[in-house]
Structure 1
Amino acid sequence: MRTRVSYPAEVKMKAVEMRLAGAPVKEVMEQLNIRNDTQLKTWLRWYKNGEFHRFEQPVGKQYSYRKGPEYRDETAKLQAEIRYLKQQIEVLKKYKELERKWYRKK
């Protein structure tokens, strides 16, 4: 079994930029010595979701137990909170719709 590899944030961002520019996955992996294509897909997902703080976090646990992620500034923290609250609203909307359907059946 191989040991985990910790890639610097610069390598992660370079890999994402290469993929967004249209470079094939194999080429990116060869040039930057990335072992697994799944790792590259994960970085792309983080980039698209705006989770830039994750690029600088270490391998393994993303942050300590019962503590949230470290944010670069107050704006990033507020954006994360807004995203969380929007998700809660969506869940409540879905529940309300289900509740309406249940009451119609009675």
Structure 2
Amino acid sequence: MATRVSYPVEIKMKAIEMRLAGVPVSDVMKQLGIRNRTQLKVWMKWYREGEIHRMEQPVGKQYSFGKGPETTTELERLKAENRFLKQQLDLLKKYKELERRWDQKLSLPGSNPFEQK
């Protein structure tokens, strides 16, 4: 049994999308065949910190900050950046919608727990 598993970039990005959509970690791991929960946490950390270039690095290889593999073309890099920015926008839209619902809920009479009676 191999101790180090290399996952394709597509699996990593799909896992991140599923987590952002609220899918539980165990379900993501089961559906995508990810063995280690910590691995998913590392990918999410890279995503949050904008280090999506690290998704392409092979096991045991760490690139210098801001650099991806030498084989990445400008077009591939721009596509990855575009995908990242679209995901950021989707996340912000979801947050705004939740915030709007929360504000609506608080504006209903008797629903604000902080209201003075």
Check whether TM > 0.5. yes
**CA offsets, 1:31-64, max 9 Å, x none?**
000001000000000000000100001001213x
What is the TM-score when the length of structure 2 is the normalising length? Answer: 0.54
The offset of 1:2, in angstroms, is: 4.2
Aligned to 2:42: 42
Aligned to 1:16: 16
Please tell me the root mean square deviation across aligned C-alpha atoms, in Å: 2.3
Local SS of the residue matching 1:55? helix
Identity %: 66
More relative contact order in 1 or in 2 (CA 8 Å, sep 6+)?
1
Which structure 1 residue ranges, 5 or more long, are not aligned? Answer: 77-106
Aligned to 2:97: none
**Runs of 4 or more above 2 Å deviation:** 68-73
What is the TM-score when the length of structure 1 is the normalising length? Answer: 0.60
Which structure 2 residue ranges, 5 or more long, are not aligned? Answer: 79-117
The offset of 1:20, in angstroms, is: 0.4
Within a 5 Å distance, the mapping from 1:1-80 to structure 2 comes to 2-63=2-63, 68-69=64-65, 70-71=67-68
In the alignment, the residues of structure 2 paired with residue 33 and residue 27 of structure 1 have an alpha-carbon distance, to the nearest angstrom, of 10
